[in-house]
């Protein structure tokens, strides 16, 4: 392998640009008012066909820009240098399998986009994610960029410092949001992220949806938790490898800070995967450190770190009036809405609309509401009339079986049926018949889905089971290619009043994501693209395990940055791959995952090149 001083200067520059991208991307925040196309406006508009975005749109532009820059750099370094480097990870024939997976994914993404019925959305991405076909292809380019430039000790040394800066920024901002207030509610931040034209919108920004949860600039606490998962293994590995008191203290603080940050995200998936990361690193890498050190301190590093972190959290808990305790309790319980928690509920199994009749069906009883000549009548499952009593505009039924149901007509002349759920059900009454309320207030004939198999799984993982069960049937139409980037919400069976209410307590939801990156890929890019992604991740893990002896040997030497990056990134990759079973791909964090996936291949290649196993 070439000595560091013999590495072409342009290689260092190109790697440094990618590291700057990694450092800056998470914090890109700009208030943007976006005009939606006609289809998207039915599902996502805030008002009059527009939406307000703060975290996603500008990040997607940065991701695409970085991908274009990487393409230019790779093409340039293979055209202009007098001596083109032959020993690089992307040229190594043993790594061609990774590039084949990337190529398959890109081709299937393009094919899915070309045959999509929603061209505008495919080009811009869903307004709830802005992951367009261009962004998805950019992920693969960023992966190749990570794979191409990080096989050198000097580059990985710089990467280590950059990751430490990124962790420091994360911990500081996390503390601001935890101890003070959400970033978007700080006055000078509102001014910074908005132009004068939209300053009045920025002034109204409030983070009310995620009370006592930290999300920073990641759109959602779950994605912030995933981002912290990607960083934690690096702080732990750096800590275990630290020499001298100062470095031990610095990396110990970073490790404690990242653990604290994951707790503040209050994401159960991130919390349990954090425990997995700590156990894996403590049991595998710790053994390697014991072999390489001759001090007693090596036996106490992990225990001291965990005890110190626990003490800090205990002190913080006292001064924040048990806020840490409340956060931890909510993480472990992972509480979500449950119909079983409410006894005063008419538990529905279905709702049927039959022109002028509305049937509210439970397992044992059916309430029929009939409209005739603008008058409402009520019947039980046997056709017996139920007497109704009106009081202050609310109609109550004089029957013990249905005494938890109340009916009213709102100011929009809509029928409001309160069956005891968090939100009432709303129906139109027009021309003497009932209609449901669909996207953008559309009048719809049906508020139920045909197939209700798998209802017992609906409540799994805070309601994710509902999305998964109803997404899987969509895959029969995407076996080869998908429906196109960002189109999931147009194919998912929306307007399922009962399914949504029994899962979330309300029917007023648009399911815009399956909360599973793999199902998301299968629906939007197709099952072949999904296979390419899964195989790529598996191949990276296999590639690491095949070189484990060389990696372990490199870790026994001081200042081996390639070994540190390889050891930490593989844990990050595996944890995030599992995390992605419970969360969608998102432009706020997934670019970092794909970059680290490529960096892992590159660092392993560099270690093997040092050891002479690659000629």
- pLDDT(9) > 90: no
pLDDT computed for residue 205 by the predictor: 82
Q: How far apart are the C-alpha atoms of 576 and 229, rounded to whole Å?
A: 7
pLDDT computed for residue 413 by the predictor: 84
pLDDT tens for 133-148 read: 999 999 999 999 999 9
**DSSP codes, 570-595:** HHHHHHHHHHTTTS---TTTHHHHHH
More confident residue, 256 or 342: 256
Which of the listed ranges 84-98, 295-309, 316-330 does the model predict with the highest average pLDDT? 84-98
Confidence of residue 596 (pLDDT cuts 50, 70, 90): very high
Q: In whole numbers, what is the pLDDT of the chain averaged over residues?
A: 90
Average pLDDT value for residue range 543-562: 86
Q: How far apart are the C-alpha atoms of 328 and 345, rounded to whole Å?
A: 30
- DSSP letter at 80? S
- DSSP letter at 477? G
pLDDT computed for residue 219 by the predictor: 92
Q: How far is CA 456 from the centre of its chain?
A: 25
pLDDT computed for residue 16 by the predictor: 96
Average pLDDT value for residue range 22-28: 97
CA atoms within 13 A on the CB side of 434: 27
Which three-class secondary structure state does DSSP give residue 32?
strand
pLDDT computed for residue 179 by the predictor: 92
Confidence of residue 3 (pLDDT cuts 50, 70, 90): very low
- pLDDT(612) > 80: no
- pLDDT(210) > 90: no
Q: How far apart are the C-alpha atoms of 592 and 21, rounded to whole Å?
A: 9
Confidence of residue 4 (pLDDT cuts 50, 70, 90): very low
Query: Exposed/middle/buried for 315, CB within 10 Å: 0-12, 13-18, 19+?
Result: exposed
Cβ neighbours of residue 286 under 8 Å, at least 6 residues apart? 240, 301, 302
pLDDT computed for residue 47 by the predictor: 60
pLDDT computed for residue 2 by the predictor: 42
Backbone dihedral region for residue 125 (phi beyond 0: left; psi -120 to 50: alpha; all else: beta):
left
pLDDT tens for 410-452 read: 888 899 999 999 999 999 999 899 999 988 888 999 999 887 7
pLDDT computed for residue 340 by the predictor: 65
pLDDT computed for residue 280 by the predictor: 93
pLDDT computed for residue 341 by the predictor: 64
Q: How far apart are the C-alpha atoms of 259 and 306, rounded to whole Å?
A: 10
pLDDT tens for 155-180 read: 999 999 999 999 999 999 999 999 99
Which of the listed ranges 198-207, 276-285, 494-503, 595-604 does the model predict with the highest average pLDDT? 595-604
Confidence of residue 286 (pLDDT cuts 50, 70, 90): low
Q: What percent of the chain has pLDDT over 90?
A: 65
Which residues of 326-422 form beta strands (DSSP E)? 350-354, 357-361, 366-372, 375-379, 388-391, 394-397, 406-409, 414-418
Confidence of residue 10 (pLDDT cuts 50, 70, 90): confident
pLDDT computed for residue 290 by the predictor: 57
Q: How far apart are the C-alpha atoms of 593 and 317, rounded to whole Å?
A: 32
Report the 10 Å Cβ neighbour count for 392.
Answer: 5
pLDDT computed for residue 288 by the predictor: 63
Answer for the pair 260, 171: CB distance below 8 angstroms, yes or no: yes
Which of the listed ranges 283-292, 338-347, 376-385, 456-465 does the model predict with the highest average pLDDT? 376-385
Q: Which parts of 424-560 fold into alpha helices (H)?
A: 460-471, 488-491, 497-504, 517-524, 527-546, 548-555
**DSSP codes, 205-245:** ----TTTT---TTSSSHHHHHHHHHHHHHHHHHHHHH--SH
Confidence of residue 514 (pLDDT cuts 50, 70, 90): very high
- pLDDT(129) > 80: yes
pLDDT computed for residue 302 by the predictor: 84
Block residue for tokens 């990337």: 102
Cβ neighbours of residue 405 under 8 Å, at least 6 residues apart? 346, 360, 367, 396, 397, 417, 418, 419, 420
Lowest mean pLDDT segment, chosen from 60-64, 144-148, 306-310, 438-442: 438-442
Lowest mean pLDDT segment, chosen from 73-87, 213-227, 376-390: 73-87
- DSSP letter at 547? T
Answer for the pair 257, 241: CB distance below 8 angstroms, yes or no: no
H helix count then E strand count, the chain: 23, 13
- pLDDT(308) > 60: yes
Which of the listed ranges 96-105, 291-300, 545-554 does the model predict with the highest average pLDDT? 96-105
């Amino acid at each position: 392998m070439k000595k560091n001083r013999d590495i072409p200067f342009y290689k260092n520059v190109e790697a440094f640009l990618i590291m700057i991208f990694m450092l800056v991307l998470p914090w890109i925040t700009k208030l943007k008012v976006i005009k939606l196309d006609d289809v998207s406006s039915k599902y996502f508009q805030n008002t009059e066909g527009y939406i307000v975005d703060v975290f996603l749109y500008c990040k997607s532009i940065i991701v695409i820009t970085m991908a274009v820059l990487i393409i230019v750099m790779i093409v340039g370094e293979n055209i202009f240098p007098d001596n083109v480097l032959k020993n690089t990870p992307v040229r190594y024939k043993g790594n061609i399998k990774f590039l084949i997976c990337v190529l398959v994914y890109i081709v299937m993404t393009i094919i899915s986009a070309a045959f999509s019925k929603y061209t505008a959305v495919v080009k811009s991405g869903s307004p709830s994610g802005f992951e367009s076909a261009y962004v998805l292809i950019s992920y693969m380019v960023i992966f190749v960029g990570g794979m191409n430039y990080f096989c050198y000790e000097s580059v990985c040394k710089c990467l280590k410092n950059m990751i430490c800066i990124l962790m420091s920024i994360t911990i500081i901002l996390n503390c601001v949001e935890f101890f003070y207030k959400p970033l978007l509610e700080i006055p000078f931040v509102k001014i910074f992220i908005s132009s004068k034209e939209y300053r009045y919108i920025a002034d109204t920004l409030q983070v009310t949806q995620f009370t006592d949860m930290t999300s920073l600039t990641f759109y959602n606490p779950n994605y912030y938790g995933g981002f912290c998962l990607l960083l934690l293994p690096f702080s732990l590995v750096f800590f275990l490898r630290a020499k001298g008191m100062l470095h031990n203290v610095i990396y110990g603080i970073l490790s404690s800070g990242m653990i604290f940050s994951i707790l503040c995200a209050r994401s159960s998936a991130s919390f349990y995967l954090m425990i997995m990361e700590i156990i894996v690193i403590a049991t595998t890498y710790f053994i390697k450190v014991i072999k390489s050190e001759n001090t007693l301190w090596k036996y106490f590093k992990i225990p001291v770190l965990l005890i110190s972190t626990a003490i800090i959290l205990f002190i913080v808990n006292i001064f924040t009036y048990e806020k840490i305790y409340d956060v931890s309790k909510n993480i472990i319980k992972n509480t979500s809405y449950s119909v079983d928690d409410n006894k005063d509920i008419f538990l529905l199994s279905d709702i049927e609309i039959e022109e002028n009749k509305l049937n509210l069906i439970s397992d044992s009883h059916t309430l029929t509401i009939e409209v005739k000549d603008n008058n409402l009548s009520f019947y039980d499952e046997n056709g017996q009339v139920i007497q109704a009593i009106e009081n202050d505009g609310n109609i109550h039924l004089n029957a013990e079986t249905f005494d938890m149901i109340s009916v009213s007509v709102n100011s929009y002349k809509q029928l409001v049926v309160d069956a005891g759920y968090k939100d009432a059900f709303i129906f139109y009454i027009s021309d003497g018949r009932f209609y449901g309320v669909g996207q953008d207030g559309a009048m719809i004939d049906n508020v139920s889905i045909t197939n209700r198999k798998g209802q017992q799984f609906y409540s799994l993982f805070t309601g994710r089971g509902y999305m998964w069960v109803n997404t899987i049937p969509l895959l029969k139409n995407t076996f080869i290619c998908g429906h196109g980037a960002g189109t999931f919400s147009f194919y998912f069976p929306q307007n399922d009043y009962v399914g949504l209410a029994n899962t979330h307590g309300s029917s007023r939801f648009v399911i815009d994501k399956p909360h599973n990156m793999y199902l998301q890929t299968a629906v939007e890019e197709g099952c072949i693209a999904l296979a390419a992604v899964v195989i790529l991740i598996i191949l990276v893990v296999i590639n690491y395990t095949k070189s484990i002896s060389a990696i372990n040997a490199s870790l026994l030497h001081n200042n081996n940055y390639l070994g540190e990056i390889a050891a930490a990134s593989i844990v990050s990759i595996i944890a995030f791959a599992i995390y992605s079973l419970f969360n969608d791909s998102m432009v706020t964090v997934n670019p970092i995952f794909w970059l680290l996936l490529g960096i892992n291949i590159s660092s392993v290649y560099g270690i093997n090149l040092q050891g002479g196993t690659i000629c």
